[in-house]
Structure 1
């Protein structure tokens, strides 16, 4: 994946505190070292605008800071996706490897810390932290002094600064700087998903799904809606051309999460 990203963060701007622009964002598969010769496009270059804004209507009787409700808005013009069998298998292996790698990394880190640190290492860190220093500085001091507590305390007085006292924000300032996420909106001019058969000697398109004027809304309470013009075409190999499978159809859907009858879990209603 490659793109040029521009991120703007304005913590004191309550209406538009965050915006991100991804220029020419594209995704492709390739052989490392031979990118130019073996690159196969999965997502064509597209420009994506992501913005956190506050568009909720306010009553003049309500405080502005209390009425701030931010929505994450994603806007892109045309999204073209090409997926083959090997691409889907690759994404499946990547997703399955993430929890395994995370578990292995945590296990290796725990074993490494157990080998390097003595049994009373944490107790010594707690004793040094009482003096007002950060735990990270206390760990470094013990490592520099090979676990000698008195020498580590002397090392801290010369090489570290006491931890600053926690700053308590004023109520008005904390409310002003808070981003209150309420929902997500996605707007696209069109999404085309092409399924490719790459199991043989050549890549042959099978199916193309088109979602025109797609709009999606989802709030954090579980309610959402989507609307688009849906059409599906299949590739006729004998005629070497596309033929309609589903004529353009204007469709919409709404869903919400609500407690189930046993009040233990939730159920999805569409």
Structure 2
């Protein structure tokens, strides 16, 4: 019956079709594994995410040290193709700064995996000392917000774990409280006494911050009407300045100048009239004397 082969027992069988490896069904690795930068995404976190993804797509043997098949093995070509895809996953989840340090023209996924491990595990002593200094000197005042402070403290703790210097929950909580300003003294004393989990401590601090912000908002809104009233009263009580007097009191100044100008005009007119009359009399007097003498003669 066609291409279907029938056995003597009457059963039929189809030729075995090759199954597609799960790795070929995946496209964007960054949707599953975050980009490793060593700060926001630590090496240990990246390793856990990548291993989880590799296990789900059945390629863990490409990064756990399992030796590849021999070149004469029929599965060698298929293995190399899958290994190249895993290598693309590794390169695709590195930051630009890390990528240039581990990128090689001829490499397997395992070789790239080990190079990345070396970047974060070599010189553990110096890296641990630097991170420890940052950890004990971090404060809330040096960060833009409470959330940023908590996140940065947790990131440093994770980085210390990458260099074999893990931070216990108790030490992390105590350092969190040590870096708080005096505004959080009440909540800090509660946290110091109970030593809650990291998530519970963050929740307590956030609640305290919300109460502080609500209290400050009420205080500022209550003080605003008084400030406005005092400002208006002060404006009403303050005498006008010279500029206001020159603008608003223009009639007063104009009247003063008119009176002064009138006084000057009157004084000048009286002076001119008196002087002119005296000069006229002096000019007329000789003529009158002459006339008198002539008539007498």
Same fold (TM over 0.5): no
TM-score per shorter chain, which class? under 0.3
Computing the radius of gyration over CA atoms, which structure comes out larger, 1 or 2? 2
Higher helix share: 2
TM-score, normalised via structure 1 length: 0.20
TM-score, normalised via structure 2 length: 0.18
Relative contact order, CA 8 A, sep 6+: which one is greater? 1
